């Protein structure tokens, strides 16, 4: 008769993890160490640790840890993965549109209807949005890099007259306002495209007016990450949010925060294992599951649109955040530019090497490269 070994205690698992992680602690080291645990050990960590509540005097330290993590090579890897997810979602919508064209060909041919002209207009509407998003993403990326690598340093340089620095930051804010308006416009255009496509789907089915569907509002609460730029970034993917949260907890340098970070890492690893082999290309499954090529699946359209809309949320939120940080610098300069009272983001950038906008610029550039490969400019007009 075999005996079942008892589950390890939390202390035993924590000692094992502490040994694996070592002294140089990074979010990825936590995730790698937790990834070596058995399912029983993972369960012990997840169920035996409590959620950590960041106290008021810890918030700045937490935020700094998160910001610094995005500039690390590991943070960049997560951002590049998020960029790949964004252009994959854009490609998925494109695939669904192509599948819908086939559906409409069947319907027009078999039922002597004339839906194809409107389907073509919807297709061209989407192509135009994607094509316009490419230069916008690159422009925003360049402004972001300039803010982190040039504007902040220039405005902090006490060898330059405050009046000259003030001119520089005002020019930056003015230019950024134009990009923000372009980002707002592209979000509205994308929402309009989705609404038009779903209305068209209802018309093809000859259904009554479709039920209005609101997009889930992105979680950009400032309570968790302390700034709009970090909150918008965390919204890109669950794995990126977990990575950032672990980074913030590590920077608090307390045992309770250490345990909470391990619990989040354990949940991330458990979820990742559950997802292996689960995902399929929804565009493909959409096509093969459409009966006789005669039906447009609203749910698949909405899922793909929700996934891709996160990217446009970044285009919009990126500038709201950059302009807020720039306005803080402007107010500081107008108030006398006291070197002892640097604005929050300036201090994080210059004293601690946090460059959130440079990090996000790489995400935007990678997205632009990915969707550019669709070559939508070659789509025929007719």
pLDDT tens track for 231-249? 778 878 888 889 999 999 9
Q: Does residue 264 register a pLDDT over 80? A: yes
Question: Two tokens at 247?
Answer: 């980074």
What pLDDT does 274 receive? 62
Comparing C-alpha atoms, which of 170, 168, 166 is closest to residue 151? 168
Question: Two tokens at 182?
Answer: 């372009």
Whole-number percent of the chain with pLDDT over 90: 48
Q: Which residue has the higher pLDDT, 108 or 6?
A: 108
Q: Does residue 289 register a pLDDT over 50? A: no
Cβ atoms of 317 and 220 within 8 Å: the answer is yes
What pLDDT does 156 receive? 97
Distance between CA 202 and CA 296 in Å, rounded? Answer: 9
Burial letters 32-47, b for 16+ CB under 10 A, else e: ebbeebeeebbebbbe
What pLDDT does 216 receive? 46
Q: Does residue 211 register a pLDDT over 70? A: no
Q: Which residue has the higher pLDDT, 232 or 119?
A: 119
All residues at 6 or more sequence positions from 44 whose CB lies less than 8 Å from its CB, including other chains: 7, 8, 9, 10, 13
All residues at 6 or more sequence positions from 112 whose CB lies less than 8 Å from its CB, including other chains: none
What does DSSP assign to residue 378? Answer: G
Question: Quick one: pLDDT band at residue 55, thresholds 50, 70, 90?
Answer: confident
Q: What is the mean pLDDT of the chain?
A: 84
Q: Does residue 221 register a pLDDT over 60? A: no
pLDDT in tens, 121-143: 999 999 999 999 999 999 999 99
Give the number of other CB atoms < 10 A from CB of residue 366. 20
Cβ atoms of 198 and 301 within 8 Å: the answer is yes
Q: Which residue has the higher pLDDT, 223 or 179?
A: 179
Cβ atoms of 179 and 144 within 8 Å: the answer is no
What pLDDT does 284 receive? 34
Question: Quick one: pLDDT band at residue 301, thresholds 50, 70, 90?
Answer: confident
Distance between CA 27 and CA 34 in Å, rounded? Answer: 11
Q: Does residue 207 register a pLDDT over 60? A: no
Instruction: Give the residue carrying structure tokens 């929700």.
Output: 306
């Amino acid at each position: 008769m075999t005996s079942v070994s008892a589950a390890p205690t939390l202390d035993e698992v924590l000692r094992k993890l502490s040994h694996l992680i070592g002294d140089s602690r990074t979010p990825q080291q936590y995730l790698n160490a937790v990834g070596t645990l058995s399912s029983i050990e993972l369960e012990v960590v997840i169920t035996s640790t409590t959620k950590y509540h960041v106290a008021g005097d810890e918030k700045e330290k937490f935020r700094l840890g998160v910001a610094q993590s995005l500039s690390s090579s590991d943070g960049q890897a997560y951002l590049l993965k998020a960029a790949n997810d964004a252009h994959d979602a854009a490609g998925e919508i494109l695939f669904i549109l192509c599948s819908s064209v086939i559906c409409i060909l069947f319907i027009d041919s078999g039922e002597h209807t004339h839906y194809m002209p409107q389907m073509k207009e919807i297709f061209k509407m989407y192509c135009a949005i994607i094509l316009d998003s490419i230069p916008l993403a690159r422009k925003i990326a360049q402004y972001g890099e300039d803010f982190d690598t040039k504007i902040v340093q220039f405005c902090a340089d006490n060898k330059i007259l405050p009046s000259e620095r003030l001119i520089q930051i005002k020019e930056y804010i003015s230019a950024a306002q134009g990009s923000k308006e372009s980002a707002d416009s592209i979000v509205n255009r994308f929402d309009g495209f989705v609404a038009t496509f779903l209305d068209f789907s209802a018309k093809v089915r000859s259904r009554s007016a479709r039920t209005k569907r609101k997009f889930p509002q992105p979680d950009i609460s400032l309570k968790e990450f302390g700034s709009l730029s970090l909150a918008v970034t965390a919204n890109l993917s669950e794995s990126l949010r977990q990575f950032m949260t672990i980074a913030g907890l590590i920077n608090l340098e307390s045992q309770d925060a250490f345990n909470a970070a391990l619990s989040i890492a354990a949940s991330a690893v458990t979820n990742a294992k559950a997802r292996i082999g689960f995902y399929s290309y929804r565009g493909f499954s959409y096509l093969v599951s459409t009966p006789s090529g005669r039906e447009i699946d609203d749910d698949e359209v909405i899922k793909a649109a929700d996934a891709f809309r996160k990217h446009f949320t970044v285009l919009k939120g990126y500038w709201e955040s950059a302009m807020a940080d720039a306005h803080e610098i402007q107010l500081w300069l107008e108030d006398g530019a006291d070197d002892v009272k640097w604005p929050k983001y300036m201090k994080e950038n210059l004293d601690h090497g946090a460059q959130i906008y440079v990090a996000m610029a790489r995400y935007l550039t990678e997205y632009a490269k990915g969707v550019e490969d669709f070559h939508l400019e070659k789509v025929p007009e007719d």
